[in-house]
Amino acid sequence: MRTVSTITLTLLLLASTVQADQSFQLTSPDIKTGTLLDKTQVFNGFGCNGGNISPQLNWSGAPKNTKSFAVTVFDPDAPTGSGWWHWVIFNIPADAVGLARNAGSPTSHLAPESSIQSRTDFGSAGFGGACPPKGHGKHRYQFKVFALDAERLDIGPDSSGALAGYYINAHQLGVAEIEAIYERPVSPEPPANFSVK
């Protein structure tokens, strides 16, 4: 009888954990799951000509023991063997409910003062927009907000995305995500007899 009660209690605890995790949500007026990113969120460089502006992000329903947040943007489809980190920001205070549009620009001073934006795979801190190789197909851009059990991560702005990701996952209480997409089709070649008059 005690075994049955223990199993029932365990199942109830697991169910409540899943329910709590499902209540943690990330929304945005700028990006949507499964839809193409706007040119505003495209990188300006590497052959891309976008606005390079991070989207507005809003979150709700974080676990009650959350002590800080982190946000990452990752492209798992980049042809590097290890994906591509487009944005890493952590030490966002627990009372935050989102990030303003263009908070990913360190010079905009729109991110919370306590937060740290660390190095992306573009080689600098701050948001770096989408810029997949031409003709490589649709890439997924995973915008994630993590609820953490630590007020601060003891890493600095020169930390790589992989190192920050390690610390973020070690302290994760919950995660919410928007997965947008973007691609750069190959420009069609002009006909052999094409000429500009």
Q: What percent of the chain has pLDDT over 90?
A: 82
Q: Is 93 within a domain? A: yes
Write out pLDDT tens, residues 85-130.
Answer: 999 999 999 999 999 999 999 999 999 999 999 999 999 999 999 9
Q: What is the CATH number of the domain that holds 109?
A: 3.90.280.10
Sorted by sequence, the CB contacts under 8 Å of residue 128 that are 6+ apart come out as 43, 52, 86, 87, 120, 121, 122
Tokens of 7: 């199993």
Q: Is 191 within a domain? A: no
Which range marks the domain in which residue 42 is found?
23-182
What kind and span of H or E run contains 139? strand 139-148
Whether 67 has a pLDDT exceeding 90, the answer reads yes
Q: Is 139 within a domain? A: yes
Q: Is 13 within a domain? A: no
pLDDT of the residue at 26: 98
User: Mean pLDDT over residues 36-45, rounded?
Assistant: 97
Q: Is 136 within a domain? A: yes
Higher-confidence residue of 8 and 164: namely: 164
What is the rounded end-to-end Cα distance, in angstroms, of the chain? Answer: 89
Round to whole Å and give the CA distance between 125 and 169: 20
The total number of structural domains in the chain stands at: 1
Higher-confidence residue of 108 and 8: namely: 108
Q: Is 61 within a domain? A: yes
Q: Is 145 within a domain? A: yes
User: Mean pLDDT over residues 67-91, rounded?
Assistant: 98
Q: Is 12 within a domain? A: no
Residues 45, 51, 54, 55: is their CA dihedral positive or negative?
Answer: negative
